[in-house]
Structure 1
Amino acid sequence: MSTRSETNLTQEQLEDLRERLEDKQSRLATELKRLEEEELPNLYREEESNDGYGDDAKNDQIRQRIVAQIKRRRSDLQAVQAALGRMENGTYGLDQRTGDPIRFERLQALPTARTAI
């Protein structure tokens, strides 16, 4: 039996989901690059014009938020890449615990889903 019939996804549905995942991958990679190469390095460049009071604490808070955003983007990017990998090896759309098909509606809402609800 082919993977398409096992997952109950048509070729058109798979292509739609692949496009959505690839688009999300591109957006996440762009955002991650911006955060790592622009936001984080630029955080301390404007320090010289301030009086120094409270700047360290403020910059630490901002840095923590940026680092948290970077971690989240990396995690999201890994999930997207894993979903694309499952598409390549024919296991996309199958629950990783049970092997049962994941409904198309769930994959539309969350294309990186690894389990059915």
Structure 2
Amino acid sequence: MYNPMWEELRVQLMEEKNRLEQRVKEAEDLPALIEESVGELNSLDDQHPGDSGTELYERQKDLTMFRHAKEQLEEIDHALNKMDDGTYGICEKTGEPIPLERLQAMPTARYTIKHSHDEL
């Protein structure tokens, strides 16, 4: 079931994919850098404990954002693959069409709103 509006959604997905890929590329070494910086913080005896906590918090926040970007990329790839194989816009639980309004609001939607809570 093809819809011409999907071309606009494909462009939107590709733009978001490019943005996220850039963010992930910039942060590829983040896990190793976090481990290194936490190790350095632990070796500084004169470091105030609050400074160590703040640094650890910032590194963990960065890592969480990195992981979230990777998850978003997976969802975008899934949606693009569904567009390619002709199953985009179909609820993965029921096989019902996903309303265009939902896809416009969330182009990576896999389920109708009614069934999206079932997957949480």
Q: Name the TM-score class by shorter chain.
A: 0.7 to 0.9
How is 1:60-75 mapped onto 2 (pairs within 5 angstroms)? 60-75=56-71
Please tell me whether residue 53 in structure 1 is matched to residue 48 in structure 2: yes
Gaps of at least 5 residues in structure 1 are none
One-letter code of the match for 1:72?
H
How many Å separate the matches in 1 of 2:60 and 2:87?
37
Kindly indicate whether the alpha-carbon contact (under 8 Å) linking 1:40 and 1:66 is maintained by their aligned counterparts in 2: no
Q: Is the 8 A contact 1:83 1:92 kept in 2?
A: yes
Residue 38 of structure 1, CA deviation: 6.8
Q: Which has the higher contact order (CA 8 A, sep 6+)?
A: 1
Percentage of pairs with the same residue: 33
How far apart in 2 are the matches of 1:94 and 1:40? Answer: 40
* Deviation of 1:57 (Å): 2.0
RMSD of the TM alignment (CA)? 2.8
Map of 2:75 onto structure 1: 79
Whether the 8 Å contact between 1:39 and 1:66 is mirrored in structure 2 is no
Query: Equivalents in 1 of 2:57, 2:18: separation in Å?
Result: 28
- TM-score under structure 2 length normalisation: 0.76
Structure 2 portions without partners, runs of 5+:
114-120
User: How far is 1:68 from its partner?
Assistant: 0.7
The CA distance in 2 between the partners of 1:41 and 1:27, in whole Å, is 22
